[in-house]
Amino acid sequence: EVEMTQSPATLSVSPGERATLSCRASQSVSSDLAWYQQKPGQAPRLLIYGASTRATGIPDRFTGSGSGTDFTLTISSLQSEDFAVYYCQQYNNGLYSFGQGTKLEIK
């Protein structure tokens, strides 16, 4: 089973600044990596799939990058609605797993 490790666990950033979230896989997952945003009391929302493709309706301030084992989600110019928990998720050989999440909070 591929283990996903996200860092940091909590990230404090001021509105208008850039946030960089990391996700590392225990073995290569090629580009089979997705990012989700979850707000309290809501279901997760797909942001990025295929490591770098934005899902429908996702603003272009969200950018995914990376391949193999190291991935990054960058949110440029943070808006108030962006403060949430973010999860990465991988697919490998018919199995899926999530990282433990990064909480993005207002500084």
Partner 1 sequence: QARLVQSGAELKKPGASVTISCKASGYTFSSYYMHWVRQAPGQGLEWMGMINPNGGSTNYAQKFQGRVTMTRDSPTSTVMMVLSSLTSADTAVYYCTKENNWKGRRGFDPWGQGTLVTVSS
Smallest distance from the beta carbon of 60 to partner 1, in angstroms?
17
Pick the closer one to partner 1 by CB: 14 or 56: 56
Closest distance between partner 1 and the C-beta of residue 19, in Å? 19
CA dist 62 and 68 (Å) reads 20
Cβ contact 25:6 at 8 Å: no
3-state secondary structure of 27: coil
- CA 55 to chain centroid, in Å, comes to 13
* Of residues 8 and 50, the one with the C-beta less far from partner 1: 50
Q: Which residues bind partner 1 (CB under 8 A)?
A: 1, 31-32, 34, 36, 38, 43-46, 48-50, 53, 55, 87, 89, 91, 94-101
Name residues whose C-beta falls within 8 Å of residue 59's C-beta, 6 or more positions apart in sequence.
none
Minimum distance, C-beta of residue 98 to partner 1, in the bound complex (Å): 4
